[in-house]
Structure 1
Amino acid sequence: MNTDHPYVGMWVTGDGLIRQNLLPNGRYDEARGERMSAYTGRYEVRGSHIRYWDDTGFTADGTFVTVNQLHHGGMTFYRQLE
């Protein structure tokens, strides 16, 4: 698993309702609205492609179109800058 990539950190939809934290240990934690840790699991990045394995058993994927923009699940996420 490649956890040495430039995409670690918080990713947020434009409306701020979905927040996905890509942790440096290859895990993710996704909050939806006020529901913290709505989805958790592991992820792997290869190039600009990300693949998710949720703890509940489903899989998903996405594409980093730039270092600050992620397309995943029909949504656009933006890197949350400090």
Structure 2
Amino acid sequence: MTLMRFPLLTVLSGASIAVLVAACSVSPDRETPAVPAEIDQEPPHPYVGMWVTADGHIRQELLANGRYDEARGRRKSAYTGSYQVFGTRIEYVDDTGFTADGTFDADILHHGGDVFYREGSDAHRRSSGS
């Protein structure tokens, strides 16, 4: 009986082979196969990105890694911390330990008494009169 050792190589593209090889590789300091980061991560939620007030004074960037960075006026990184999204609800934990929450309604975020708009969205353009 003859075994075909690499029948998949004829149907996989070069990129697929690279991912397959990387997924099956063993790091020298580990005994388990290394898994490419893009395979092991969940896709970001739909609210990742920049959210701004109508006047642009507060700019809050929700990063895909669960962190946020908020600028106020000319003060960059005025507030930083982590966040979690549960459906349309967001919960923040500032790096100082302060907590807050908010609610998304499509391209609008209600948070801390302010209204934020997804930067560049129709809602943002309508809010700033552009």
The alignment's TM-score, normalised by the length of structure 2, stands at 0.59
Q: Is the 8 A contact 1:3 1:25 kept in 2?
A: no
Task: Give 1:81 shift.
Answer: 2.4
Deviations 1:60-81 (A, max 9, x none): 0000012x10000001000012
AA of the residue aligned to 2:110: H
In structure 2, what is the equivalent of residue 73 of structure 1?
112
Distance 1:80 1:70 in 2: 11
Name whichever structure is richer in strand by fraction.
1
User: Structure 1 stretches (4+) deviating beyond 2 angstroms?
Assistant: none
Distance 2:55 2:69 in 1: 18
Unaligned runs of 5+ in 1: none
The alignment's TM-score, normalised by the length of structure 1, stands at 0.92
Distance 1:78 1:49 in 2: 15
Q: Is the 8 A contact 1:3 1:45 kept in 2?
A: no
Name whichever structure is richer in helix by fraction.
2
Q: Does 1:8 align with 2:8?
A: no
SS of the equivalent of 1:81 reads coil
Q: Taking every aligned residue pair, what percent have the same amino acid on both sides?
A: 69
AA of the residue aligned to 2:111: H
**Which one scores higher on RCO, CA 8 angstroms, separation ≥ 6?**
1
The one of 31, 45, 49 equivalent to 2:71 is 31
Deviations 1:26-63 (A, max 9, x none): 00000000000000000000100000000011000000
AA of the residue aligned to 2:114: M
Task: Give 1:12 shift.
Answer: 0.1
CA RMSD in angstroms comes to: 1.5
In structure 2, what is the equivalent of residue 44 of structure 1?
84
Task: Please identify the structure whose Cα radius of gyration is greater.
Answer: 2
Distance 1:19 1:65 in 2: 18
Task: Give 1:8 shift.
Answer: 0.1
